[in-house]
Structure 1
Amino acid sequence: MSRTRPINCIIPPYILDKLLDSEDSEVRRAALDTMLLTARLRGERAVRASFAGAVAPGDGRRTVFDCEQEESLPNAVLARPEDGPESTDPSINQAFDALGLTRDFYKEVFQRNSIDGRGMRLDGYVHFGFQVNNAFWDGRQMLFGDGDGKEFSNLTGSLEVIAHELTHGVTDHESQFEYHNQSGALNESMSDVFGSLVKQWSLKQTAEEADWLIGADVWTPGIGGDALRSMKDPGHAFNNPTFGKDPQPDRMSKFIHLPDTKRGDFGGVHFNSGITNKAFYLTAMHIGGFAWKAAGTIWYESLKASSADDQFQDFAGTTFQKAGELFGVGSPEQSAVLAAWQEVEVPIKGVPAGVARVRSLAVNGNGGVGREDGLAALTRQIGALNDKVTGLAKDLAAMKVNR
């Protein structure tokens, strides 16, 4: 069933709901205004849905506009074009640079020409509305709120947040994961994965060096050490009196069932994305090195090969298959994928339970003997399984010839 895609925004509804209970009237008002604005933008995107693809190619050229705290995009002032000088406004420069880093990441790492693969221009609108606690991808451009100055700082201040939102555009042009239940959680997870990879790529960090946090630079600036989400440790990104404890699960036995409604986060898409986020983190850590090279390539090719209504198990199977195609059946990379999905309790179809239950692949953070031995053991088992399948295929072929 095809559905109208909601507007994508970085701040999950359960965070804004908490802000409505704040003792600070300004914080409550900013949260309510943000929720109302999000609803309005969702309606506008529904109207634009019939004009999908109408944006002319522009070689990924960036243009940043200043909304001057208004909500009207047509009245926004041109602030910095692709070839324009640097602005005196840090928000304009941060948005401009992040748009460019995300564009360049997709081009250099995956040979993708902008968000749609065809040179889509990248338009960003800063200072959108008054104290808006969110950043949005509306299907055609990026909108950045300034935050309320208390619980949120300016939303242009986080590279992974901007890359997260732009990746929703990539997903829109590839798998088109339906934005509800498990496929919606996959949609959100893809944005977290590639949002984090853009930051790691820009900093030239290995998987071991990265913090794997989403939104640490823009959320609760007065509280250190927290973030909106942690890919490394879902459920432990934050824990404070204002927002409570991070509700994300990290495995299927903790899957959160919510109604497929706006108030239910469309079936918990921002909650359950923690499961698939953890699977990617584990894959990257098992492989080691720069996460965008092997793990990122497996996930990117799997995104392109997926269908709109795929569930977690479908996507897990696709990553396992793509790892085999890209790096070889039974390769360390394919073994890492299998080990990651089994740890978050998502089985892969067609893989015997005896192989799937192997849990000797431990992340020790140092690439030590335990990690190598576990990986080698799992690789041998997958290789042996592949040999058996190949042998059976030959026997069947011989039987047909002898009939």
Structure 2
Amino acid sequence: MPPYLLAAIAKNGTAAQRAFAIDTLSADFSFRTFRATSAIALASAPRARIAVMPGTEPVLKRTVYTAKNKQTLPGDVVRAEGAAATGDAAVDEAYDGLGATYDLFFKEFNRNSIDDAGLPLHATVHYGKDYDNAFWNGSQMVFGDGDQTLFKRFTASLDVIGHELTHGVTEIEAALAYQGQSGALNESMSDVFGSLVKQYKLGQSADQADWLIGADLFAEPGPTRLALRSMKAPGTAYDDPVLGKDPQPAHMKDYVHTVEDNGGVHINSGIPNKAFYLVAVAVGGNAWDEAGRIWYETLLDARLKPNATFEQFAKLTQASADKLHGAGSTQSKAVAKAWQDVGVL
């Protein structure tokens, strides 16, 4: 949940909605500060990759906890790997979402969990009271129940679960600084793979997908409340008296220069998001097969530095496309055209 959206609710909502938004912003402040400082620390001293013992078979291991509407982590265990569904929608959605994200990365990219070394996946649900957000805190997922007037429980959106877990992948592989363009790339990588998790689970091709992030979160969805973000058409996800208007740009000419939101990390991510969408639909088929592979290989590229700009990232995706499919290939041309169409190259 971007802070500017919560700020709009704090300004335009009912008294109860304003209270929910202010409480969430307050809780998020320390988390966002932690993410930014952690990125700085990782950039100066990247985390060493954990070696997997030879002969060890990859095994999915999930544990879901409940915070019982407090802010103590991780809380009490409510479902462990292999246990039956509990009937608590938040618990079971978190469990399934962790599994769906693991499946995409393992089956399509041969990645063994978040750290590529079999990291157990932990999630806490029922965090806080009326907490309007979900986040990855560096070691686990955390989900709020939502305020139930504007937003439902945050486990309801599979792409949001994939989004937050991907922050862990990006943190380990590239340590993209959570500020400015590198921070927007960080957010965009999470949107890309969050959307791919949903598409993979639903068996959707690029032209069948809705390319929306968080479309399942609204308590009362409608034409003015489509999603938190649209990768296909940044700036069109919502336009509502309470939520305000989606501020995401889709082209560099509209790039938002701001000191808020860590230099606009949730706002300007619309530009690389649109580039990925354009590549995926131009190539066709399942977006994780080719477009997703190009983006994943770029994330693993040692030349991707923590302070990467959009232009530097775009050139590395071009290099990845050329390496995987050959210069002049359909995929290579699609990547070049996408970045040109959004004004980065």
Considering the TM-score relative to the shorter chain, is it more than 0.5? yes
Q: Structure 1 CA distance, aligned partners of 2:313 and 2:59? A: 31
Offset, 1:211: 0.2
Among 287, 290, 306, the residue aligned to 2:286: 290
Q: Secondary structure at the match of 2:269?
A: helix
Structure 1 residue ranges (4+ consecutive) displaced by more than 6 angstroms after TM superposition: 47-58
Matched, 1:37 2:27: yes
Among 13, 17, 20, the residue aligned to 2:3: 13
User: Are the counterparts in 1 of residues 236 and 246 from structure 2 also a CA contact under 8 Å?
Assistant: yes
Q: Structure 2 CA distance, aligned partners of 1:343 and 1:54? A: 36
Q: Structure 2 CA distance, aligned partners of 1:23 and 1:196? A: 29
Matched, 1:73 2:73: yes
User: Are the counterparts in 1 of residues 12 and 241 from structure 2 also a CA contact under 8 Å?
Assistant: no
Q: Structure 2 CA distance, aligned partners of 1:231 and 1:173? A: 24
Q: Give me the identity figure in percent.
A: 47
User: Are the counterparts in 2 of residues 55 and 140 from structure 1 also a CA contact under 8 Å?
Assistant: no
What's the C-alpha RMSD, in Å, of the aligned pairs? 2.2
Which residues of 2 match residues 168-317 of structure 1 at below 5 A?
Answer: 168-224=167-223, 226-259=226-259, 264-305=260-301, 306-317=304-315
Matched, 1:333 2:323: no
Q: Secondary structure at the match of 1:79?
A: strand
Q: Structure 1 CA distance, aligned partners of 2:232 and 2:59? A: 35
The number of residue pairs the alignment matches comes to 332
Offset, 1:59: 4.0
Q: Structure 2 CA distance, aligned partners of 1:103 and 1:54? A: 18
Offset, 1:43: 6.0
Q: Structure 1 CA distance, aligned partners of 2:146 and 2:123? A: 16
Q: Structure 2 CA distance, aligned partners of 1:99 and 1:67? A: 18
Q: TM-score, normalised by structure 2?
A: 0.91
Spell out, residue by residue over 1:27-47, the C-alpha distance to the aligned partner (whole angstroms, 9 max, x if none): 111111111111244566669
Offset, 1:234: 0.4
Q: Secondary structure at the match of 1:247?
A: coil
Distance 1:47 1:114, change over 3 A: closer
The residue type equivalent to 1:254 in the other structure is D
Q: Secondary structure at the match of 1:20?
A: helix
User: Are the counterparts in 2 of residues 115 and 166 from structure 1 also a CA contact under 8 Å?
Assistant: yes
The residue type equivalent to 1:292 in the other structure is W
User: Are the counterparts in 2 of residues 56 and 121 from structure 1 also a CA contact under 8 Å?
Assistant: no
Q: Structure 1 CA distance, aligned partners of 2:235 and 2:38? A: 36
Q: TM-score, normalised by structure 1?
A: 0.79
Larger radius of gyration: 1
Counterpart for residue 320 of structure 1: 318
Counterpart for residue 367 of structure 1: none
Q: Structure 1 CA distance, aligned partners of 2:328 and 2:200? A: 28
Q: Structure 1 CA distance, aligned partners of 2:138 and 2:219? A: 28
Spell out, residue by residue over 1:232-280, the C-alpha distance to the aligned partner (whole angstroms, 9 max, x if none): 0001111111122211000111100012xxxx11111111000000000
Q: Structure 1 CA distance, aligned partners of 2:141 and 2:212? A: 21
User: Are the counterparts in 1 of residues 13 and 242 from structure 2 also a CA contact under 8 Å?
Assistant: no
User: Are the counterparts in 2 of residues 183 and 309 from structure 1 also a CA contact under 8 Å?
Assistant: yes
Offset, 1:18: 0.8
Which residues of 2 match residues 62-211 of structure 1 at below 5 A?
Answer: 62-74=62-74, 76-211=75-210
Spell out, residue by residue over 1:309-346, the C-alpha distance to the aligned partner (whole angstroms, 9 max, x if none): 11000011001111010001111100000111110011
User: Are the counterparts in 2 of residues 65 and 79 from structure 1 also a CA contact under 8 Å?
Assistant: yes
* Structure 1 unaligned regions, length at least 5: 1-10, 348-403
The residue type equivalent to 1:247 in the other structure is P
Distance 1:55 1:134, change over 3 A: farther
Counterpart for residue 55 of structure 2: none
User: Are the counterparts in 2 of residues 59 and 118 from structure 1 also a CA contact under 8 Å?
Assistant: no
Spell out, residue by residue over 1:361-391, the C-alpha distance to the aligned partner (whole angstroms, 9 max, x if none): xxxxxxxxxxxxxxxxxxxxxxxxxxxxxxx
Distance 1:327 1:152, change over 3 A: same
The residue type equivalent to 1:180 in the other structure is Q
Q: Structure 2 CA distance, aligned partners of 1:34 and 1:47? A: 21
